[in-house]
Structure 1
Amino acid sequence: MRFPGHGRPHPADIVIGPLDLSAHVDEALAVQAVAFGLGADEIAVRRQIVLRHMAYPGARALGATTAGRLVGFVYGMPNDRTHWWSTVVEPYLRARGHDDWLDNSFVITELHVHPSYQNRGVGRGLITAITDTAVEPRSILSAIDTDSPARGLYHSLGYRDLARQVLFPSAPKPYAVMGAPLPLLRR
């Protein structure tokens, strides 16, 4: 069995497929909590955000499962300049001449893989599978602005930095906004 989007074999029979994120929000947020180091209060806030996002037109999610257990997920939607994320990043993108990336783009809202399954191609499989179904010609996302495996993955897929040192209210660390033409690069 293979991950969608590249030729590496599935580790431990991981299957990537559609995820009813509204029905599995608690399971997904448990993965995010471990992967991102979130506490119960942060998860409670994010739960409401995820449920609201999944009601947006075009929002969709994929999950990575093994033995019936969710070990990773991704969700996103067509970007809308009126959404909170866009209103925060727009001034940073405009200052660098990249605010056009907010139009006609598919935004990766969240991508998380349980630490026990990281560095095995699960994140790559999730993000390529969800963007391969996008009708938009490009994708945007934000990631903590540090030299991390996540940013390394995004760069390897063709994402480039559009704005750095982006500050989100209540986020303790700055973020980078990244964009890539679709389809994403393959190895």
Structure 2
Amino acid sequence: MDQLTGVTIEAIDLAAWAPQALDVQAVAFGLTPEEVMVRLHIVGRHAQQPGVIALGAFDGGRLVGFGYGMPNRREHWWSTVIQPYLEAGGHGDWLDGVFAITELHVLPGFQGHGIGSTLIRTLCERSGLHRSILSAIDAETPARRLYRSLGYRDLARAVHFPNTERLYAVMGAPLPLPARPGGQSAPANSR
């Protein structure tokens, strides 16, 4: 296969790995240093949430991707923003009993090799819940194509989060997520 076969997926302590994870997110998502500082505080709060699951993708000890999520709760800030959009489309029930993928990022040089799909599949498998929800930039991006290939569908579009000009889509999928197309196994090893 390719040179990425040595990438491993492991559980991480989100609070301890937050600075490295945000370095990955800054490159993958194009964050400014100011945005990284704001998100560092947010990730620290998320690390304390009940049921949070965090995974890192490592290449020789170097973090090249990460993802984390938690059982969704209506009182979470994210839920309060998306609730009116979901309810307007008749999808308000997607706020309850679902696993929210909070962040999922892979360094550009490691994208397109199954790392992101392995991260999200493993997070969802470990959640013990029957549905998953996430938000993504509302554009035809590789991330949106990945989520669709895993069974996520649009629940709301043109969602506006405060402090950003980008519009987002909220997507949901039943769990478990489908196997990789063609029965191929992911190149990353999951621990």
TM range (shorter): over 0.9
What is aligned with 1:84?
77
Distance 2:147 2:156 in 1: 14
Structure 1 consecutive aligned stretches of length 4 or more whose deviation exceeds 4 Å: none
**SS of alignment partner, residue 154 of structure 2:** strand
The partner residue of 2:27 within 23, 34, 37 is: 34
What is aligned with 2:89?
96
TM-score, length of structure 2 as denominator length: 0.92
Distance 1:60 1:110 in 2: 11
- Code of the aligned partner of 2:76: H
Q: Extract unaligned runs of 5+ from structure 2.
A: 182-191
**SS of alignment partner, residue 91 of structure 1:** helix
Tell me if the contact between 1:12 and 1:66 (Cα under 8 Å) persists in the aligned partners: no
Write the deviation string for residues 2-43 of structure 1: whole angstroms up to 9, x where unpaired: xxxxxx888240000101111011100000000000011000
Distance 1:114 1:87 in 2: 30
Distance 2:129 2:2 in 1: 28
Distance 2:84 2:153 in 1: 18
Tell me if the contact between 2:53 and 2:127 (Cα under 8 Å) persists in the aligned partners: no
Higher relative contact order (CA 8 A, sep 6+): 2
Distance 1:149 1:178 in 2: 14
Write the mapping of 1:25-174 to structure 2, written as runs, cut at 5 A: 25-174=18-167
Distance 1:10 1:176 in 2: 33
Distance 1:75 1:134 in 2: 11
* RMSD across aligned positions (CA): 1.2
TM-score, length of structure 1 as denominator length: 0.94
Write the deviation string for residues 116-156 of structure 1: whole angstroms up to 9, x where unpaired: 10111110010001101112110000000000000000000
Q: Extract unaligned runs of 5+ from structure 1.
A: 1-7
Point out the structure with the larger helix share: 2
**SS of alignment partner, residue 133 of structure 1:** helix
- Code of the aligned partner of 1:81: R
Cα distance 1:76–1:9, how it changes in 2: closer, same or farther (>3 A)? farther
Tell me if the contact between 1:61 and 1:75 (Cα under 8 Å) persists in the aligned partners: yes
Distance 1:180 1:10 in 2: 31
**SS of alignment partner, residue 183 of structure 1:** coil
More moved, 94-103 vs 10-19: 10-19
- Code of the aligned partner of 1:138: R
CA displacement at 1:110 relative to structure 2: 0.2
